[in-house]
Each structure stands twice: as structure tokens, then as C-alpha cells.
Chains A and B, each alone.
Chain A
């Protein structure tokens, strides 16, 4: 391989390689994972709201992973693993923010303002 072609290959390698198959797989999965929760809610499939909530949250989590893998091209190797590290760190912070806020505020409501609970 000559020096020039080596440089050229490397230059394009800055941007991850994408494939039609990847996008189509992601799209089909995303459509399925979107249609089912809408159908569950709009069709009133489950009797209890709690069941529906658990199921559609599950679908949302799976769909987020699908988008990450097939559209955002996430894997353990991109940018030498730093992408994944930043993502994991962010997910931990997101979890703390969401779970912490809901937990603390729920306790405040229960313990401080019993008369205002709905």
C-alpha cells in the first residue's frame, strides 16, 4: 500500500463507516417499538395503568438502545471507548437526577403536606 492511499483511507476512517442494512434494521425495529406502545395506550389493551406504564417504559428503553446502536453507531470501540465511557457516566448522572428528584419530592409530599396529597 502506498503512503498516499494509506493517508486517504485513514482520513475517511475519522468518520465511522455506515451501511444501508444498519439503518434499515434500526428503522424497522424503531417503527415496531414505537407502534406497539401507541397501540397499547390508544387501544386500551391492558386493564391496569400500572401494567401499561411498565410495558411502555420497557419498550422505550429498548428503542433508545436500538437508536443508539443503529443510528448513533455506538459500540465499545468508537473513539477508543471514550464515547461509551462518557455515555455510561451520563447515564449514571441521569439516573441520579431522575430517581433522586422523584424520591425526594415524593417523600416531601408524603411527609410535609399530607392535606395536599391527591
Chain B
């Protein structure tokens, strides 16, 4: 695309007898925001890699305290995993509504996504409360410290995702589907789906592998 523009510009100017390589006219560079946001997500990925590595190293350091095998409730995790998974497809519906320029539909599906995310967060808080109540707090052993750091950081991300989502709903309500808002909705979609990708690692590595004998 830019190659053809360049050739066209070069041909135009060569008619005047001199060769120019500066593209005149309104050349649209690709929007850098999406790439920049992707780079941010990749850096976030590294944070999670460190937390996963910590959990992997401390995964058996129970210090005589309770183990994950005794306390993890896979039924609860199955429910919260489905909530997050369904919220991925509802965000997809919001994207499709946005693509069709339907403001109401976009906001509806975004709101549904936010509620599912809040449900996930509620279950996680319930689980944390329960664990701390039965004596498996972050200070109990290296294992639980690593567990709360990893799962808690993911939960914090979901929380800020919901904050962003609510902000975006207000922006959409006020300004509608302007290009800036579309870009924001797309960035949040990357953030949201990225959190789901991290959760795949969490439920596999922490919960499913944690309850294996």
C-alpha cells in the first residue's frame, strides 16, 4: 500500500525532473496504538511469566501447612473458568455489534461481559476468603504466598479490566461510536482476551496440576 503510494509520488515528481522520496499528501500511517498496546500486553506477559516461575519453584514448599490438593475446590474453579470463557464470546458479540455500528448492542454486550467478569471476581474473592479462613493465607507458606501472588495479580487485572469497561461504557454513552472509542473497545478486547489466555495457564498449572496426587 505504502509502496504504491511511494511509486506514485515518485512518478509524479519525476515528471518535474527531480526524484522525491518524501511522500506528500495525506499518507495514513497505521495506527500505532494497537501495536503499542500489544507491546504492553507482552510486557504484562513477562510479569505473569515471573509469577508462574515463582509458583513453579515454590510449588511444593508447604512448610508443614495445608496443600493445594487438600483445599482447592475444582467445582468452583470450573464455574469461574466458564464465566471467563463465556465473557470472551460476549465480548466478541460486542465487537461484532460495534463493527455493525450498533451502539446499543455494543453497550449491552459490554455490560454482559462486565457482569460475567464481576461474577468471576466474586468467586475468586470468595475462594480467597475461604482459604484465609481455613488457615491458608499468603503468610502460611511459600506455596500460598506464590499462589496468592499469581492468582491475585490475575484477579487485579480482571478488576482493572472491569474499571476500564465501566469507563468505556460511560464514554460510549456520551460520545457514541466515534473512531477513538472504537479503538478503545478494541484495545480492551485484546486486554480481556489476554486475561483469558493467562487464566488458561492458571487453571491448568495451579489448579488442575495442583490437585493431582
Chain A residues with a Cβ under 8 A of chain B: 7, 10-11, 14-20, 22-24, 26-27, 30-31, 34, 37-38, 41-42, 49, 52-53, 56-57, 59-60, 63-64, 67-68, 71-72, 79-80, 82-83, 86-87, 89-90, 93-94, 97-98, 100-102, 105, 118
Given contacts A38-B74, A71-B196, A72-B193, contact A57 B50 (CB under 8 A): no
Whether B60 sits at the interface, judged by CB under 8 Å, is yes
17 interchain pairs (CB within 8 A)? A14-B34, A16-B186, A23-B89, A23-B92, A34-B203, A41-B208, A52-B212, A60-B200, A67-B200, A71-B88, A86-B39, A86-B42, A90-B42, A97-B49, A98-B56, A100-B53, A105-B57
Residues of A within 8 A of B95 (CB): 18, 23
DSSP majority for the B interface? helix
Q: Is B213 located at the chain interface by the 8 A CB criterion?
A: yes
Per the bound structure, the CA–CA distance linking A90 and B49 in Å amounts to 10
Q: Which residues of B does A touch, CB under 8 Å?
A: 26, 28, 30-31, 34-35, 38-39, 42, 45-46, 49-50, 52-54, 56-57, 60, 74, 78, 81-82, 85, 88-89, 92-93, 95-96, 99, 179, 182-183, 186, 189-190, 193-194, 196-197, 200-201, 203-205, 208-209, 211-213
Bound form: Cα–Cα A94–B193 in Å: 19
Chain B residues within 8 Å of A11, by CB: 28, 179
Give the shortest distance, in Å, between A76 (CB) and chain B (any CB). Answer: 14
Inter-chain contacts of A86 with B (CB < 8 A): 35, 38-39, 42
Assembled-state Cα–Cα distance A55/B175 (Å): 48
Residues of B within 8 A of A34 (CB): 81-82, 85, 200, 203
When the two chains form the complex, which single residue of A56, A71, A97 contacts B50, counting CB atoms closer than 8 Å?
Answer: A97
Q: Residues of A contacting B183 with CB < 8 Å?
A: 14-15
Cα A64 to Cα B53 with chains together (Å): 18
The answer to whether A10 and B28 touch across the interface, beta carbons within 8 angstroms, is yes
A67 to B87, CA, bound (A): 13
- Inter-chain CA distance A116–B74, complex, in Å, is 30
A82 and B35: CB pair below 8 A? yes
A26 contact set on B, CB distance < 8 A:
88-89, 92
| A30/B81 in contact, CB under 8 A | no
Report yes or no: B186 in contact with A101, Cβ–Cβ below 8 A.
no
- Verify A41–B96 contact, CB threshold 8 A: no
Looking at the assembled complex, report how far the CB atom of B188 sits from the nearest CB atom of chain A, in whole angstroms.
12
Are A97 and B53 also in contact (CB < 8 A) when A71-B193, A79-B30 are? yes
CB distance from B30 to the nearest CB of A (A): 7
Residue of B nearest to A59 (CB): B204
